[in-house]
Structure 1
Amino acid sequence: MAASQSSSAAGNTNIMLAIFEKKTNTVDLYRPLRNYIAFHYSEREAQNLEDDLQTLKQLRSDIERNSDPSLPARRDLFQTYFKALCQVETRFPISPEPDHVNALTFIWFDAFKPKLKASQQNIHLEKGSVLFNLGAVYSQIGLTFDRNTVDGRRQASHAFMGAAGSFGYLRDNASMKVSVGSSTTLDLSVECAGMLEKLMLAQAQECVFENTIAKGSTPGVCAKISRQVGLYYEEALAALNVAPLSQHFDKSWIVHVQLKAAIFFAEACYRYGLELHEKEEIAEEIARLKSAISVLTEAKKNSKGAAAQLLDAINKLEVNINRNLERAVKENDRVYLMRVPPTSSLSPLPAFAMVKPMVMSEVLDASKEKMFASLVPDNSAKALSRYTEMVDDIIRTQAEKLQQASELTRVRLKEMELPDSILALEGNFTLPTSLKEDVEAVQISGGPAGLESELQQLKDLRRVNQELLVQTEELLQKESREDAQFRSQFGTKWTRPQSSTLTKNLLDRLNRFAGNLKQAADSDARIERSVREHSALMAILDARPIESALPSLARPIMSFDQNEDAIVGSLKQSLRQLETLGAQRAGLEDMLREMKRKDDILPKLMTSTGSYEDLFKKEIAKYDHISEEIAQNIEAQEQLLLQIQVTSLDYHWPMPK
C-alpha cells in the first residue's frame, strides 16, 4: 500500500490510497509460442509471424523491468499487453496437456503479501495479474494530481474511476478463472477485486466532494455527495472485516478505511444539519449531529496506527459539529421546545453517486488487434462458417419476400388493368412491350400490303408444290407399269425386286408430303379469311406510331359518379405510392447485401471468451431492423393494393370512342 498527502480544498481529509503493482518472474513467451506455430501450422507461418512474436516478447520484458518513464506510459503498456494476451488466448492453448503450449509457467507474487506467490500453466493468471496492475497504476496516477485545484481534483477522480473499472473488470472476467483448479493469491480473488473497486470509487467520489465544497454548493448537495463517499468506504470496510480478507491486510488498511467511513458519515450529518437549521427543523438537526459525534467518538477508539492527517481531520470536524450542536440545543431550549427524536428513528441520509467505474470492456477491446491474425483455430473457422450460414439464410429469406412482393404487385395491377386504363384515359396509352415488338415486326415486313404479298406468294408456292407432287406420283406409276410389263415379258429371267418393294418408302413420304401440303393449305385459307374479315383493323398497322391509330377512352357525357376526377386522382396517387414502395424494396435488398459484405465477426470470434451462441445472437440482431423495415414495406403495399382495388371497383370506366 502507498499513501499520498496533499492539502484538501475542504480542509477535511487529504490522505488517499494507491496500490503497489504485483511482481513477477521472467517468462520466455517467444520460444514456446514459436515452436507451437511451427509444429501445428508450418515453419513458414512461424517466420511470417516473427514480428508479432518479438513484439509480445518485448511487451513482457517491459512489464518485468518496470522501466517506463511515466505512470501513463506504464498504464498504456498494461493495456496493450492485455489486448495482446487476448489474441494469444484465442490462438494458443496454454496448459500442461501434451499437444498444448506446455512449456510456459507464469509466476506472480501477492501485492499485499509479497512472499506469497501463484504459479500456473494457464494464461488466466497472466491476464488477471495484468488487470490488477492496470488498476494499481491507475490508482497511482490518481495520487499524482494536485487536489488543491479544480482540474487536479477532476483528473484524480477520473484516474480513480479507471482503477475502479480495472478492478471491477478483474472481478467479473478473470478472478474466477484464475482461482479454478490452481493455486493463486488472494489479491486476485473476487472478494479482493470487489473491495478495491469500492475503495477506488470512494476516493473518486471524495474528489468530487472536495470540488463541491470548493465551489460553494448548497449544504443539501454536499450532504448527499458526502454520504455516498461514506457508503463506498463502508462497503470496502465490510469486505475487509470478513474472510477471506480479514487476515490478509495490514491493520493500517482497516483503520484507514474505517476512519474515512466515519468521517464522511459525520460530514454528511454536519452538512445535512446546516440544511435542517435553515428549515428550522431543529429537533432533527440535533439528532443528526449527535449521531455524527457518536460515530466519530467510536472511530477514534480504534484509530491506532492512523495517519495524523486523518486524526486531525476528525478533530476539526468534531469542533464544527459540537459548535452547531450547542447552538441548536440552545435555540431549541429557548425557542422551539421540540422533542429530539432518538437516533434509531432517523431515516437514512440521502446519497447521490457522482462517479462510476470506467467501462474497461471498451478500453481493453482486442477485436481490432492484428497480432497473430493469420492463425485461425479450427473452432473459430467452424463458428464463422455457421454464422455465415445464418446470415445467408436471413438474406435469402428477406430477398424472397421482396421478390414475391414485387411480383404480387405486378399481378394484382394487371388484374385491375392498371395503370394502363388511366394512361389510356389520359391519351398516354402504350402497348405492352411484347405486343409492340410484334407490331413493329409486321410493319418492318411491309404492313398489310406486305402481308397480302406474303399470302399471294404462299398461293404460288402451294401451286408449284402441288404440281411437283402430281409429277412425282405419275413417275412412280409409270415405273410400276414398266416393271409389270418386263416381269410378264421375261418371266423368271426378270430378277429385279418388285417395284412396290423398291418404291414403298418413296410412296410413304409422298403421302405424308401430300397430307402436310393439304394441312398447310387449310391453315393459309383460315389466315386469308381472317385477314379479309378484319381488313379495317389491319389498316391501323400502317400507322406510325401504332398508338396514334388505337381507339382511346373518352369520358361519358354524363357520369353517375360526380367524384370521378377525385377517384382517378386517388388511383394515380396510390400508384405513385406503390412505385415509391417498390423503389424502397430495391434499396432494402441492396442494403442487406452491403451489410453482409461488411459483416466480419472473425475478430470477435477470436477474442470471445463466452458462448458463441450469445455472440451470434447479439451479432445477428444487426439485421432485425432491416427485416422489420421489409415487413413494414410489404404490409404497407398490401394495404395500398386493397385500397386501390376498392377505389377501382367504385369507378365507372368509360367506353372506347
Structure 2
Amino acid sequence: MEGCPRLPAIYFDLKLSLESVDLCEKIPNYITANYQENGADFSNECEQINHLREHAINCSIDEPSVRCLQRYFCQLQLLGNRFPMLPDAECSVRFTWEDGFQKDESTCNDIRFEEASILYNIGAIYSRLGANETRKTHESLKNACTYFRYAAACFEKLRDQYTPYSEDFTPALLTCQVDILLGQAHEAVLEKSFLDQRPHSVNAHVAMQISDYYQMALLNLTKTGIGSIVSKRFREWRVALIYKSSYYLAITYFCNGLIAEDNKKHGECVCYYENSIKRLTDGWKTAEKISTDKINVYKEANTFTNDMIMRKYKIAKRDNDNVYFEKIPALSSLPTLQGAIVAKSQVFDCHDPDVSGPDIFQKLIPMKNSEYVSSLRDLSRNQRATIADDTLNKLKVGWYRSPQGNQVSLTEDITFSLENSVLYTEDDLQNRKKLISSLNEIPSEMATTSYQKVQIRHCTILQAAQSLAAEMLKIVLEY
C-alpha cells in the first residue's frame, strides 16, 4: 500500500459569535456584595477575560488559536465556579452563537452554552488541522492522528457533558462526528503501519476498525432529522462514508488474503482477493457521486488499490487453478475478523497550568474563607498546637469523628470535598505544595490527588487540614 494516494479527510466548520459580549457586566457589583473587596478594583481582570474572548471568537486555523481557545475554555470554567452565571443567575450573560452548519442563531444566558460553543470550535479546528496534513511522512501521519484524537475528545465531551443548546449539539450528530474523527485517526495509524511494514494481521484489524467506525458514523448520519441539520454536508458525508467503509473493508480482505497466502491456504487466498475487489467495485459506484473537486483524489486511490489487489488476485487464481486445486470457500464460512481500537480520543487537561494559564481572578478570596483565616489569628499558641496535633493524628489514622459522633472516613470526605471545593490564593497554593511533599504519613495516592487539585487552585477539606496543621506547627516552633 506504500505510495497509495491518501483519501481526503472530513473536517468541520467553526461556529460563529457575531455579537460583542461583556462577560463582567454584573461581576463588579457581585464582588462588592459578596466579597470583602471593591468590585471596581477588578477592572483589569474584567478587561483580561473580555480580551481573551475577543481573541477566542476571532481565531484562525492554527495551533496558537487552539491554545487561545483552550485557555478561554478553562477560564470560563473557573469563572462559572466563582460567579453565578447559569440562566437567570445574578451574573448571567446573554450569549449568541450561529450553529456550525445552517448558520441559524441560538441564544442563551448560560455560561455553559459559551463553554460548549468554544469546545465545539476547539474540536473543529483540530479536525481541520488533521485534514490539512499530507499524511505522506511519519511526522505528518503522527500529527494527523493526534489532531483527530483531540478533536474526537472535544465532541465526546460536548455530547456527554453539555445540554443540546442548539441543533448542531444533537447527540446523534456529535456521535457521528466522533466516529468520523476516530476513523480518520485510525486511517493515519494504518497508513503509518503500511509504511513501517507491520504484519498483515495488524493491518487487517486496523482496517476493519476503520470500516466499522464509518459504518457507525453513517448509521447516525442517516437518523431522522440529522440530514436537515447538516444540510449541504449530508450528501458529501454520506457518499464519503459509504465509500470509505467499503474501501477499508476491501483492505481488510486484501490483508486477510496476504495472510492466507503466507499460510499456503490458496483457496482462502483467492476468496479474500475476490471479495476485496468486489467491495472496492461496489464502493466506487457510490464514490462516483462525490463532489467534482475531490473526485480525482478518490479515483487515483481507487485505481491504485484496485490494480494492486487485481495483480495479487490473478496470480493467486492462476496458481490455484493450475497447481493447488483447492476449493474456494464462501466468505461466510471463514472466521469473522474483529476490528482493533488503537487510537482513542485524547482530552486536553484543564488542570494543567500550561493549558489554562493563571486564574484571572485568583486574588479574589471568598468572604467566609477570609473571615475563617482571620479567626485563626485570634487563637492562643496552645490552642493552635492542639488543633495541629489533632489534625495530624486524624491524617495518620485515616478517619475523624464528626460533631454528631459518627466516624467519618477521610477517603469519603475527600470525594465529597472534591465536589464541593473552594478557592484559595496563590500564597496558600505554594504553602500546600510544600506541605504535600513533606507529609510522609499521607498515602501516595492521596498526595497525588491533592497535588492535582492544587494545580487548579482548588482545596479540599483534607488539604485545608494539612495546610492548617503545617501552619500551626510552624507557629508553635517559632515560640
Alignment of 1:37-116 (within 5 A): 37-41=31-35, 44-66=37-59, 68=60, 71-97=62-88, 100-102=90-92, 104-114=93-103, 116=104
Q: CA deviation at 1:277?
A: 1.1
SS of the counterpart of 2:229? coil
**1:272 alignment partner in structure 2:** 256
Matched, 1:396 2:380: no
SS of the counterpart of 2:249? helix
**2:290 alignment partner in structure 1:** 305
**2:477 alignment partner in structure 1:** none
Q: TM-score, normalised by structure 2?
A: 0.73
Q: Which amino acid aligns with 1:13?
A: R
- After superposition, the CA RMSD in angstroms is 3.8
Query: Structure 1 CA distance, aligned partners of 2:39 and 2:150?
Result: 37
Alignment of 1:377-416 (within 5 A): 395-397=392-394
Q: Is contact 1:380-1:606 (8 Å) kept?
A: no
Q: Is contact 1:12-1:317 (8 Å) kept?
A: no
Judged with a 3 Å threshold, the aligned counterparts in structure 2 of structure 1 residues 269 and 394 are, in CA distance, closer, same or farther, namely farther
Match of 2:323 among 316, 332, 335: 335
Q: CA deviation at 1:374?
A: 4.1
Cα deviation, 1:441-495, whole Å, max 9, x if unaligned, reads xxxxxxxxxxxxxxxxxxxxxxxxxxxxxxxxxxxxxxxxxxxxxxxxxxxxxxx
Judged with a 3 Å threshold, the aligned counterparts in structure 2 of structure 1 residues 198 and 41 are, in CA distance, closer, same or farther, namely same
Q: Which amino acid aligns with 2:323?
A: V
Q: Which amino acid aligns with 2:26?
A: P
Query: Structure 2 CA distance, aligned partners of 1:224 and 1:231?
Result: 11
Cα deviation, 1:311-353, whole Å, max 9, x if unaligned, reads 3322332233233223322322223322222222232224333
Q: CA deviation at 1:355?
A: 1.6
Q: Is contact 1:380-1:605 (8 Å) kept?
A: no
Cα deviation, 1:4-47, whole Å, max 9, x if unaligned, reads xxxx95414331122211111321213232333234436x4323
Q: CA deviation at 1:152?
A: 1.7
Cα deviation, 1:286-330, whole Å, max 9, x if unaligned, reads 222233233233323333135311233223322332332233223
Q: Which amino acid aligns with 2:359?
A: K
Judged with a 3 Å threshold, the aligned counterparts in structure 2 of structure 1 residues 311 and 371 are, in CA distance, closer, same or farther, namely same
Q: CA deviation at 1:594?
A: 12
Cα deviation, 1:563-621, whole Å, max 9, x if unaligned, reads xxxxxxxxxxxxxxxxxxxxxxxxxx96348999996898689879xxxxxx889x89x
| Percent identity of equivalent pairs | 22
Q: Which amino acid aligns with 2:27?
A: L
**1:591 alignment partner in structure 2:** 440
Q: Which amino acid aligns with 1:305?
A: I
Q: Which amino acid aligns with 2:39?
A: A
Q: Is contact 1:21-1:111 (8 Å) kept?
A: yes
**2:173 alignment partner in structure 1:** 192
Matched, 1:18 2:7: no
**1:28 alignment partner in structure 2:** 22
Matched, 1:202 2:178: no
Cα deviation, 1:37-63, whole Å, max 9, x if unaligned, reads 234436x43233222211100011112
Q: Which amino acid aligns with 2:57?
A: E
Q: Is contact 1:11-1:313 (8 Å) kept?
A: yes
Judged with a 3 Å threshold, the aligned counterparts in structure 2 of structure 1 residues 11 and 398 are, in CA distance, closer, same or farther, namely closer
Judged with a 3 Å threshold, the aligned counterparts in structure 2 of structure 1 residues 225 and 392 are, in CA distance, closer, same or farther, namely farther
Query: Structure 2 CA distance, aligned partners of 1:394 and 1:244?
Result: 59
Give the total of aligned pairs. Answer: 403
Q: Is contact 1:86-1:607 (8 Å) kept?
A: no
Query: Structure 2 CA distance, aligned partners of 1:106 and 1:603?
Result: 31
Cα deviation, 1:379-413, whole Å, max 9, x if unaligned, reads 9999x9xxxxxx99774346689xxxxxxxxxxxx
Alignment of 1:477-488 (within 5 A): none
Judged with a 3 Å threshold, the aligned counterparts in structure 2 of structure 1 residues 86 and 286 are, in CA distance, closer, same or farther, namely same
Alignment of 1:494-573 (within 5 A): none
Query: Structure 1 CA distance, aligned partners of 2:53 and 2:91?
Result: 17
Judged with a 3 Å threshold, the aligned counterparts in structure 2 of structure 1 residues 131 and 337 are, in CA distance, closer, same or farther, namely same
Q: Which amino acid aligns with 1:347?
A: P
Q: Is contact 1:90-1:606 (8 Å) kept?
A: no
Judged with a 3 Å threshold, the aligned counterparts in structure 2 of structure 1 residues 343 and 597 are, in CA distance, closer, same or farther, namely closer
Q: Which amino acid aligns with 1:204?
A: A
Judged with a 3 Å threshold, the aligned counterparts in structure 2 of structure 1 residues 394 and 208 are, in CA distance, closer, same or farther, namely same
Q: Is contact 1:87-1:607 (8 Å) kept?
A: no
Query: Which structure has the larger Rg over C-alpha atoms?
Result: 1
| Larger helix fraction of residues | 1
Query: Structure 1 CA distance, aligned partners of 2:38 and 2:456?
Result: 21
Match of 2:305 among 301, 307, 317: 317
Q: Is contact 1:106-1:122 (8 Å) kept?
A: yes
Query: Structure 1 CA distance, aligned partners of 2:142 and 2:395?
Result: 51
User: Which structure ranks higher in relative contact order (CA pairs < 8 Å, sequence separation ≥ 6)?
Assistant: 2
Judged with a 3 Å threshold, the aligned counterparts in structure 2 of structure 1 residues 96 and 222 are, in CA distance, closer, same or farther, namely closer
Query: Structure 2 CA distance, aligned partners of 1:322 and 1:354?
Result: 29
SS of the counterpart of 1:321? helix
SS of the counterpart of 1:591? coil
**2:418 alignment partner in structure 1:** none
Q: Is contact 2:73-2:119 (8 Å) kept?
A: yes
Q: Is contact 1:91-1:375 (8 Å) kept?
A: no
Query: Structure 2 CA distance, aligned partners of 1:218 and 1:590?
Result: 50
Q: Is contact 2:71-2:356 (8 Å) kept?
A: no
**2:376 alignment partner in structure 1:** none
**1:353 alignment partner in structure 2:** 341
Alignment of 1:610-621 (within 5 A): none
Matched, 1:295 2:276: no
Judged with a 3 Å threshold, the aligned counterparts in structure 2 of structure 1 residues 395 and 101 are, in CA distance, closer, same or farther, namely same
Judged with a 3 Å threshold, the aligned counterparts in structure 2 of structure 1 residues 284 and 167 are, in CA distance, closer, same or farther, namely same
Q: Is contact 1:10-1:210 (8 Å) kept?
A: no
Q: CA deviation at 1:132?
A: 0.7
**1:135 alignment partner in structure 2:** 123
Q: CA deviation at 1:92?
A: 1.6
Match of 1:119 among 85, 107, 118: 107
**2:144 alignment partner in structure 1:** 156
SS of the counterpart of 1:18? coil
Cα deviation, 1:351-380, whole Å, max 9, x if unaligned, reads 333322113345777898432234456899
Q: Which amino acid aligns with 2:260?
A: L
Query: Structure 1 CA distance, aligned partners of 2:284 and 2:23?
Result: 51
SS of the counterpart of 2:9? strand
Q: Which amino acid aligns with 2:333?
A: S
Matched, 1:227 2:224: no
Cα deviation, 1:256-301, whole Å, max 9, x if unaligned, reads 1221121111112112212211211122222222332332333233
Query: Structure 2 CA distance, aligned partners of 1:396 and 1:48?
Result: 42
Q: CA deviation at 1:161?
A: 1.6
Judged with a 3 Å threshold, the aligned counterparts in structure 2 of structure 1 residues 222 and 101 are, in CA distance, closer, same or farther, namely same
Query: Structure 1 CA distance, aligned partners of 2:95 and 2:281?
Result: 48
Cα deviation, 1:505-537, whole Å, max 9, x if unaligned, reads xxxxxxxxxxxxxxxxxxxxxxxxxxxxxxxxx
